[in-house]
C-alpha cells in the first residue's frame, strides 16, 4: 500500500518505529493530490510549501523523542476555519481576499499536536448547501463517481479523505455537513455535542447549530482526533467545561446488553430501497453483537426541516450582516455612496443560495413576524430536544440512515431547493437537539456508491458513540473498497 492510503494510527506506528518519515508521508500525499486533484477538486488552497516545512520540523521532533499525538500527519481543513496567514474564503467571493491574522482554536490544537496542514478544502458557500455545488470556486466531485456530488457543505474535506488526498480532514456540521458527505463518500464523519469543541475562529453560519468535527478513514482515527480537539475554551462563549475522556479507551469494546433505538420516523416514504436494505442489515449486525434493538418514536421529527430552515437562515442573516465591503473581503467598485457600496458588494459577493437564506432569515426576524416564525421555531426545537432526552432514557444509542439516498448527480437538484434540503432530513435533528452523531460506512449500492449508517447518543456521550461505531465497524466487516480514480 502507498503511504497516502494508510490511517493515522498506522502511520503513527511507522513514524515511531522509524519505518517512514513525515517528509515521505507528506510527499506521498502531494503526489496523490497532483494525480487526482484535477478530477476531484477537493481543495481551494493548497499549502504545499508550508506542509513540507512542517513535515521536516516533525521529523526533527521525532528524532529528539518529542512526538505528539499527530506529529507528522497530513491533515486538511475546511475553508471555514481561520488560518493565520492563509486565505480563508468560506467558498465565497465576498471573502476571496481575506487572510486571517489568527488561527481558530482547533487549528491551534492540531498545530500543537504536530499535524501537517495540506490545505483548505472546498465547501458550499458559507456552509449553505448539501452538495458542494454552491462554492464560488467550482464544484467538488465525488471520488466514487465524478459525475456525482460528494455531499455538503464539507464536501471538499470528505472527498479529500476518500480520494486519499490527505490522511484525515476537518469540517463543520450545522445540519449534517459532516455526516452526510461522510456517508456519500464512504468514510467516517463525527459531529460532536454542541459545546464539546470550541468554535472560536470558525466562521459562523448558524451559531446555535454549528459544530466542528473530523473526517477519517476509520473510527479509531476519529477517536485520536477527538482527543486533540475536544475541551473547554474560555474564548468561546458556548464552550462547555465538561471533562474530556480519552476516547481511545472506548475502542475495542463490545455493545452486548445495550439497547439500540430505531426511530420509526426515519424509515419514511422516499428513502432509497438500497439505503433502507443496507440499514436493515446494519440493524441485524448490531443485534448479532448482543444488543437489543427496539422501536422508538421521535414524534416531532416531522417538524425538523421546517424548524431548521427558519432557525438557520435567521441566524445566518444576522451573522452575515458583517460582510459589507467595508472592513474586509470583497468590495464593489464605482459606487455612488456608502449605501450603494453595501448593495453592490453584497449582491456581487454572495451567491444565489446565500442570498436566498439571508432573505428567508431576515423575513423570519422582521417586525411582526419574529413571534410567528423564529420564536415558534425555537419553541418546537425545544420539543425536538425533549424527544431525544426521552429516547435516551430508554436507549444507549439510536441507529438511523445517514442519508435518504446515495450520492446524486451533479446539477440534479440545484434548481429545486426543497429537494436539496431534503438531503439532510436524517441529520438535522441532532443539530437542533445538540447531541452527537457519527456516520460509518455500512455498504454499497449495486452501482458501487457508498451508504452510511448513523449512530446518535446523548449529550457529551461521544465515547459511547465511538464504542458503538468501532464495534459495528469491526463486526460488519464492510469491504474496504477504494474509488477507482
Contact between 459 and 211 under an 8 Å Cβ cutoff? The reply is no
Q: How many CB atoms neighbour CB 1 within 10 A?
A: 7
Cell 502507498 -> residue? 2
> Positive or negative, the Cα torsion across 430, 216, 152, 295?
negative
Angle between helices 105-112 and 219-229 (to 10 degrees): 110
CA dist 349 and 367 (Å) reads: 27
253 is catalytic: no
User: Active-site residue among 153, 198, 345, 439?
Assistant: 153
Cell 446524486 -> residue? 408
CA dist 298 and 262 (Å) reads: 10
User: Active-site residue among 154, 157, 172, 177?
Assistant: 177
198 is catalytic: no
User: Active-site residue among 22, 28, 78, 423?
Assistant: 78
CA dist 142 and 410 (Å) reads: 9
Q: Smallest Cα–Cα separation from 109: which of 199, 204, 17?
A: 199
CA dist 177 and 158 (Å) reads: 10
CA dist 455 and 183 (Å) reads: 12
Contact between 229 and 106 under an 8 Å Cβ cutoff? The reply is yes
Cell 473498497 -> residue? 481
153 is catalytic: yes
Contact between 148 and 132 under an 8 Å Cβ cutoff? The reply is no
Active site residues: 78, 153, 177
Amino acid at each position: 500500500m502507498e503511504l497516502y492510503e494508510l490511517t493515522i494510527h498506522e502511520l503513527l506506528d511507522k513514524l515511531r518505529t522509524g519505518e517512514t518519515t513525515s517528509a515521505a508521508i507528506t510527499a506521498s500525499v502531494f503526489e496523490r493530490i497532483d494525480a487526482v486533484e484535477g478530477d476531484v477538486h477537493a481543495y481551494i488552497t493548497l499549502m504545499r510549501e508550508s506542509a513540507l516545512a512542517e513535515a521536516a520540523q516533525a521529523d526533527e521532533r521525532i528524532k529528539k523523542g518529542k512526538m505528539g499525538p499527530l506529529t507528522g500527519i497530513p491533515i486538511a481543513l475546511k475553508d471555514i476555519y481561520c488560518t493565520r496567514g492563509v486565505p480563508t474564503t468560506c467558498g465565497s467571493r465576498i471573502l476571496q481576499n481575506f487572510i486571517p491574522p489568527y488561527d481558530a482554536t482547533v487549528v491551534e490544537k492540531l498545530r500543537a499536536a504536530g499535524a501537517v496542514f495540506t490545505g483548505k478544502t472546498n465547501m458550499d458557500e458559507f456552509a449553505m448547501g448539501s452538495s458542494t455545488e454552491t462554492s464560488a470556486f467550482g464544484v467538488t466531485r465525488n471520488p466514487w463517481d465524478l459525475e456525482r456530488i460528494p455531499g455538503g457543505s464539507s464536501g471538499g474535506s470528505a472527498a479529500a479523505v476518500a480520494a486519499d488526498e490527505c490522511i484525515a480532514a476537518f469540517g463543520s456540521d450545522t445540519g449534517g455537513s459532516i455526516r452526510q458527505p461522510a456517508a456519500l463518500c464512504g468514510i467516517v464523519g463525527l459531529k460532536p455535542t454542541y459545546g464539546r469543541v470550541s468554535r472560536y475562529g470558525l466562521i459562523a453560519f448558524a451559531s446555535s447549530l454549528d459544530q466542528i468535527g473530523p473526517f477519517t478513514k476509520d473510527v479509531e482515527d476519529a477517536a485520536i482526533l477527538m482527543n486533540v480537539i475536544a475541551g473547554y475554551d474560555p474564548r468561546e462563549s458556548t464552550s462547555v467545561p465538561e471533562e474530556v475522556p480519552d476516547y481511545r479507551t472506548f475502542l475495542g469494546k463490545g455493545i452486548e446488553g445495550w439497547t439500540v433505538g430505531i426511530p420509526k420516523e426515519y424509515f419514511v416514504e422516499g428513502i432509497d430501497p438500497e439505503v433502507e436494505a443496507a440499514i436493515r442489515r446494519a440493524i441485524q449486525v448490531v443485534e448479532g453483537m448482543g444488543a437489543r434493538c427496539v422501536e422508538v418514536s421521535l414524534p416531532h421529527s416531522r417538524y425538523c426541516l421546517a424548524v431548521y430552515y427558519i432557525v438557520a437562515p435567521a441566524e445566518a442573516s444576522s451573522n452575515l450582516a458583517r460582510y459589507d465591503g467595508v472592513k474586509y473581503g470583497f468590495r464593489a467598485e464605482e459606487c455612488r455612496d456608502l449605501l450603494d457600496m453595501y448593495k453592490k458588494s453584497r449582491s456581487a459577493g454572495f451567491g444565489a443560495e446565500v442570498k436566498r437564506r439571508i432573505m428567508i432569515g431576515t423575513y423570519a426576524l422582521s417586525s411582526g413576524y419574529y413571534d410567528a416564525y423564529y420564536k415558534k421555531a425555537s419553541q418546537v426545537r425545544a420539543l425536538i430536544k425533549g424527544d431525544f432526552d426521552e429516547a435516551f432514557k430508554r436507549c444507549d444509542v439510536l441507529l438511523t440512515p445517514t442519508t435518504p439516498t446515495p450520492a446524486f448527480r451533479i446539477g440534479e437538484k440545484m434548481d429545486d431547493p426543497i429537494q436539496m434540503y431534503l438531503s439532510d432530513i436524517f441529520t438535522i435533528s441532532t443539530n437542533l437537539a445538540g447531541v452527537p452523531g457519527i456516520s460509518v460506512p455500512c455498504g454499497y449500492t449495486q452501482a458501487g456508491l457508498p451508504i452510511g449508517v448513523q449512530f446518535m447518543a446523548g449529550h457529551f456521550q461521544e465515547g459511547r458513540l465511538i464504542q458503538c461505531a468501532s464495534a459495528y465497524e469491526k463486526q460488519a466487516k464492510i469491504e474496504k473498497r477504494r474509488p477507482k480514480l
